[in-house]
Structure 1
Amino acid sequence: MMDPNEALKRILQPGGINQTVFPPSSRYYGIETATLEKDDGTPAVYLRRRFCPQPDQLALLNEHEVVQGDRLDNLAATYIGDPEQFWRICDANGVMRPDELTETAGRRIRITLPQGIPGMSNV
């Protein structure tokens, strides 16, 4: 596995890679880089925009009713098997601020399959 600092250095180098080196579990996996030339001629490498999926396009696996003390990383570990996948729960519920999901006890949050993986039909 590549050192995260080394990966960032590779991404930010002018004329470097066109596709990022983020791991498959990252929300930025597959997002390409682009280069913008500054006024002084130096290149600025950046990640292209990541478009969040529409929550209703994600196949529902489960719903969780929030209780006081819930943390999103713990919910991601429980339902997805990886606490760093909390962003998938954010995408599934259409929120930009992760803490919003666990602020209110009794809120029901969606746990979904990853984007592009269809759910089973109820046939």
Structure 2
Amino acid sequence: MERHLPEVDIEGTAFYVDVMREELRQKEDRLNRISFNVFSQEGNGYTFLYDRATKNVAEADQDHPVMKETFVWVTLPALMELDAEGIALKYNIPLSVLLPELGLDDENEEEDYYEDEHYS
């Protein structure tokens, strides 16, 4: 089965959240990827400098005045908020442990949740 990846909007551009590959992947250009490694933890989320022109992480020459106009700091929610199911699958943690508010009590209910809600 294939799982539908959740999406996050960054400055008007949709990115898939791929916990298994530890990256954001642009929905309309799957070759454009942002590694989770560039994230800096800030509070309950992650921050990085984003370049609206390239739709990716801002590159080294940050002092160039034209480029600087396209840069913006982006803060994303924690990965647990973006894709709890992906975290559960990657680390083999029952979803009921990560999201007890769902009321998933046994393995069968959890499998049904994955099949019905998140897989195609």
Give 1 or 2 for the bigger CA radius of gyration.
Answer: 1
Larger relative strand fraction: 2
The TM tier, using the shorter chain, reads under 0.3
